[in-house]
Amino acid sequence: DSERRMGLLGQTSTVVINLGLPADDTATNRSLIDRLRRLFIRDAIAQTAPAAFSLVRVRVTAVDIGVIEKTFNAFGSLSLNVPAGALRQFEVIAYVASGDPSAAISFRGTATANLPAGETVSLSVIMGLNETKIVLPDPFDNVGPLTQRLIQINDMTGAGWIEKTGSDMGFFGTFRPWDVDFDNRGRIYIANNNGNSGSDRIIRINNMSDTACITLGNGSNSGIFTVAVDRVNNYVYYSTDSILQLRRCSLDGTGDMSLTPPSSISSINGLTVGSDGSLYIVGINGSSQGTLYKYNPVTQTEIASYTGLVTPSDVVVRPTAIYIADASDVFSNKIVQLNSNLQFVAGYGTWYYPPSIANTNPGMFYQPRRFAGIRNDELIIIDDAPPNYDFDKLVSIRDIYGTGWTTYGTEGKGQGQFMFFYGC
C-alpha cells in the first residue's frame, strides 16, 4: 500500500507512514512522493478519521542521529527521508483542527523500525488519544433551576465554550452528569448520577455536536457516580452511588458484568485505568480511612493500597506518578502525589475555610472534586465548595508544587460560570 522510491543509496531510507488520514489524489508526480495513508486504532479501523486534522508532526529519534522533526499538512502528500540504520523510533502526533467539535486535541502513536539503506519501508503507527479539551460535568442538583449540562472549553481561558443538555445529545431522562472520560477515538463517556433506574446510565457521545447518544451500563437504581475507560483493552468501568457496585462493559455496552470490589472498601469515589490495564480506585475503607486501591480487574483482586488520605474524590495516573484529589474538610494536602509503588512523594494545597468570598490565591482550594480532561503538561481540577457554600472554579497546575497555578470561572449558571456538584 505504498509507492517505492529509492533513497540516497547507503545513506537514507524512505519511510511511508500509515495513520488513518484520507489519501489525496494530487496531480504531482506520485513516483516521487510517499503518501500519507490510512490506519486508525483497534476499536474500528476507520474509513474516516475521528476528527478533522490541521497538521501532523513526525519526530524520529535514534542514538546515532539525534532528533529529526518534520511537520506536514493533514492533507495532500508528504515525503520523509530518514538516515538508514537500526532502531529508528517514530513518534507521530495528529492535531485536531480548530473548530472541530471533537473533545480531542491530538492523537499520538509510536513505532520502531530498522531502515535498510536505499529502501522504502512501510510503517504502521497505531494512533490513540493523546490530549483532550476540558470537558466538565455541571449537574448542580441542590436547588432549581438546575444547570444539568455538559461543558467543553479548549483551555483555561474558556475559549471555545460549548454547553449541552441531555436533550441536546438525544438523552431524554433526567440528566445529572457526574463524571467524564474518553475512549481512544475521543468519544465522551458521561456518568449520569440521577438515582433512578430510568436514567442511571453511561451516556456516550461522539463529540459535542452529537444529537444521537447511545447509553450503556446498569445503575441498578442507585446512580452512576464515576466512570473510567480502559483505552488499551476497550472496556468501560463504572461504579454506582448509594449501593456499592463496581461494573465493567465494552465500549458499546455489551458484556456488562459486576466485579467484586476490594474487600475492605465501603464507598467508591473515583476511578482511572493505568497503562497496564490495572484499575485505580479511590474511596473510603471499612475503617473510615481514605484509601487508594490498585486493583486487577482480570482476577478481581487488590494488588496494593495506600491509606494516607482523608476523603479522596478522584485519581489520575501518569507515566511516573499517581495524583489524588482529596476533598476533605480538614487542612490536609488537597492534591497528593504517589509514585508507581503507591508511596507518598509530595502534597500540595490547603483548605480555604470558611469560604466567605471567592479565593483564587495559589494553593487555596474550596474542595477538589474531579480531574478534568487529559493533558500531558498540567492537572486540571474541578474545585467546588462544600454544601451550603456557593464557590466554584477550575484550577490548573503543572506539577505537585503548584507551578503555573491558573484559575478560571466563578459560581453561576452562565458562560464562564459553574455550579458543579454542591451549593446552598
pTM: 0.89
Whether residue 27 is predicted with pLDDT greater than 70 in this model: the reply is: no
The answer to whether 335 and 325 have CB atoms below 8 angstroms apart is yes
- Confidence label for 25 from pLDDT (cuts 50, 70 and 90): very low
Question: What per-residue confidence (pLDDT) applies to 197?
Answer: 57
Contacts of 255 (CB under 8 A, 6+ apart): 248, 249
Mean pLDDT of 243-268: 93
Mean pLDDT of 382-393: 90
Whether residue 5 is predicted with pLDDT greater than 60 in this model: the reply is: no
> What tens digit of pLDDT does each residue of 78-137 get?
668 899 999 999 999 999 999 899 999 999 999 999 999 988 888 888 889 999 999 999
Q: Compute the half-sphere exposure of residue 80: CA atoms within 13 Å on the CB side of its CA.
A: 25
Question: What per-residue confidence (pLDDT) applies to 342?
Answer: 97
CA distance 239 to 110: 33
Taking 3-state DSSP, the helix, strand and coil percentages for the chain, each rounded to the nearest 5, stand at 0, 45, 50
- Confidence label for 388 from pLDDT (cuts 50, 70 and 90): confident
Mean pLDDT of 390-405: 96
Question: What per-residue confidence (pLDDT) applies to 219?
Answer: 61
The mean predicted confidence, pLDDT, of the chain is: 86
Mean pLDDT of 53-62: 92
> What tens digit of pLDDT does each residue of 312-358 get?
999 999 989 999 999 988 888 999 999 999 999 999 999 998 888 99
Question: What per-residue confidence (pLDDT) applies to 389?
Answer: 84
CA neighbor of 324 nearest in space, from 396, 375, 275, 272:
272
Give φ, ψ of 103 to 5 degrees: -75, -15
> What tens digit of pLDDT does each residue of 305-318 get?
999 999 999 999 99
> Measuring CA to CA, how many Å separate 383 from each of 97, 217, 369?
30, 28, 6
- Confidence label for 414 from pLDDT (cuts 50, 70 and 90): very high
Question: What per-residue confidence (pLDDT) applies to 34?
Answer: 32
Whether residue 47 is predicted with pLDDT greater than 50 in this model: the reply is: no
Question: What per-residue confidence (pLDDT) applies to 331?
Answer: 85
Whether residue 74 is predicted with pLDDT greater than 50 in this model: the reply is: yes
Contacts of 368 (CB under 8 A, 6+ apart): 313, 314, 325, 326, 327, 334, 335, 349, 381, 382, 383, 395
Question: What per-residue confidence (pLDDT) applies to 76?
Answer: 52
> What tens digit of pLDDT does each residue of 197-227 get?
567 889 999 999 999 999 998 766 578 999 9
Q: In 3-state terms, what secondary structure has residue 31?
A: helix
Cell of 182: 474518553
Mean pLDDT of 170-181: 93
Question: What per-residue confidence (pLDDT) applies to 424?
Answer: 54
CA neighbor of 179 nearest in space, from 156, 153, 150:
150
Whether residue 417 is predicted with pLDDT greater than 90 in this model: the reply is: yes
**CA-based end-to-end distance of the chain:** 62
Degrees to nearest 5, angle at CA 242 with 236 and 248: 15
Question: What per-residue confidence (pLDDT) applies to 24?
Answer: 32
Whether residue 8 is predicted with pLDDT greater than 50 in this model: the reply is: no
